Amino acid sequence: MIATDFKKSFDTGKVLRLLGAGQGRRASAASMRRVDTLAQDITDLLKPRISYRRFDLTAVSPGGIKLDGGAHFKSPKMAKALSRAEAVYCFVATVGPAIDMEVQRRMQRRRYADAYVLDAMGSMSAENVVEQFYQRTARDLAKSGRGVTLRFSPGYCDWPLGQQQDLFNLFSDHPPLKVELSRSCLMSPRKSVSGLFGILPAGIPGAHPAYNPCSACNKRDCIARRSH
């Protein structure tokens, strides 16, 4: 299935973290002004879309999970987070290629600071599409007493980036949104996000799952860090 009804927005705080804020450091006044100015330009560049599919979860082992149809994803941390799930939503989201082209155009014009900030804003805009979808799904499932697990993406936590291709293979009969993979498993358009999250049966709390792998990770400045 494909959804397109998303707000064109991003987390300004995370953009500023990408620009050097955080860990006791404040973003420069120039960076904050540039974000405010470019926020007015980026809206027309964003074309948010997400392709998603639901799969039953057929097995969970200490090393990973298996889905209906045979897909096997290797990640001990993801397996632990999904240990009580009954199914998963797999997804590929993008905000389209226009932001990539605008970043390149500004680079060619040697407007490097603008290009860098636009690139960060594009990344957070794609992330926000997924977050909107995730929160919307959580609300819909809550109506029947079910919940969701934390979400995971290839290349983050302990899920190998090389399994990006295995995730894309789940959409082989309907390529997701014209998002393509390079041989090194990087997505094009670059402002795209893929991943999955679990669906919990009724009666198991999902809004604040008991297991969060970020809690045991010492990388405190990780932009993808999640807290309860």
Cα separation, 119 vs 101, whole angstroms = 10
Using one digit for the tens of pLDDT, what is the confidence trace for 53-81?
999 999 999 999 999 988 999 999 999 99
Q: In this structure, are residues 152 and 211 in contact, taking their beta carbons and an 8 Å threshold? A: no
- Note the pTM of the prediction, 2 decimals: 0.85
Q: CA 152 → CA 58, 164, 197, distances in Å? A: 18, 12, 6
User: What are the domain boundaries of the chain?
Assistant: 2-216
Q: In this structure, are residues 31 and 19 in contact, taking their beta carbons and an 8 Å threshold? A: yes
- DSSP label of 216: G
User: Comparing 81-95, 143-157, 165-179, 201-215, which segment has the lowest mean pLDDT?
Assistant: 201-215
Cα separation, 194 vs 72, whole angstroms = 16
Where does 2-216 sit in CATH, by number? 3.40.109.40
Interval 139-164 mean pLDDT:
92
pLDDT attached to residue 58: 95
Instruction: Find how far residue 168's CA is from the centre of its chain.
Output: 14
Residue 182: pLDDT band by 50, 70, 90 thresholds?
very high
Q: Beta-carbon neighbour count of residue 170 at 10 Å?
A: 18
List, in sequence order, every residue forming a beta bridge with 67; answer none if it has no partner.
Answer: 57
- Greatest pairwise CA separation for the chain in angstroms: 56
Which helix (H) or strand (E) segment holds residue 175: the answer is none
Count CA within 13 A, CB hemisphere, residue 72: 7
Residue 112 has pLDDT above 80, yes or no: yes
Per the prediction, the chain carries an average pLDDT of 86
